[in-house]
Amino acid sequence: MTTIKQIGISDAFVTNGEVTLKTSGLGSCVAVILYDKRAQVGGMAHIMLPETPQNLHLSNISNNPNKYCDTGIEHLYERMLQAGADKHRLIGALLGGAEMFPFQNSSILHIGKRNIEESLRILASYQIPVVFQETGGSKGRTVSFDAVSGELSLYTTGETPIVFTI
């Protein structure tokens, strides 16, 4: 029986078993999914910000790698390989990165767009093809992914849910 693993904000999980990975209420954050279909190893990260601040070591912020695109994707990639995935077979999916509210005088202006760009840049640096991308817009999304079947389900607010096999 498949169990559901809920991925929270700044969280990630990798599975090679009958687990459906789910993250709910994605707004400007992005969900990055990595998958090795033959090994049936899948992973998902719910990432909030584009890049790790340079002065992180001087601040009170903990070094949670899943919070940032740069460290979050690297961390997910390494955990995928540890779980038995082959780096040459990895494919990726990217979802989220909406602009929920267009406030102009904000340090997080266009944060969704920046999350998308940074994620795509890092996935390209690992030569991981992005086979499914549903990003941008201004609506929240909920995503689930089954690592055995490769089935990805997406609900976007106000739209009919879609299912896609990667």
Partner 1 sequence: MTFPSLTAYQADALTEVVNVSMGTSVSELSELFNCHVSMTPPTLNVAKVTDIFSYIGDPDEETYTILSRFFGEMNGNFIFLFRPTKQDEQWRRFLQGQDALHTLKQIADTVCQAFTASFAAFTNLTVQKDHSQAAFDLLGAIVEYGFMEHTLLSDDLLFSQGTFSLNDFSLTGNLLFFPSPESLSLLFEKLGVNDDNH
For the bound state, the minimum distance from the C-beta of residue 142 to partner 1, rounded and expressed in Å, comes to 6
Amino acid at 25: G
**Which residues, numbered 68-97, are part of the site for partner 1 (CB under 8 A)?**
none
Structure tokens at 67: 């919070």
**Between residues 64 and 133, which has the closer beta carbon with respect to partner 1?**
64
Judged by CB under 8 A, the chain residues 99 through 158 that form the site for partner 1 are 100-103, 105-108, 111, 139-142, 157-158
**By CB under 8 A, is residue 9 in contact with partner 1?**
yes
Is the Cβ of residue 27 or residue 72 nearer to partner 1 in the bound state?
Answer: 27
The string over 14-41, giving b where at least 16 C-beta atoms fall within 10 Å of a residue's C-beta and e elsewhere, is: bbbeebbbbbeebbbbbbbbbbbbebbb
Near partner 1 by CB under 8 A: residue from 31, 49, 76, 152: 49
Residue type, 123: L
Residue 164 has which token pair? 């896609």
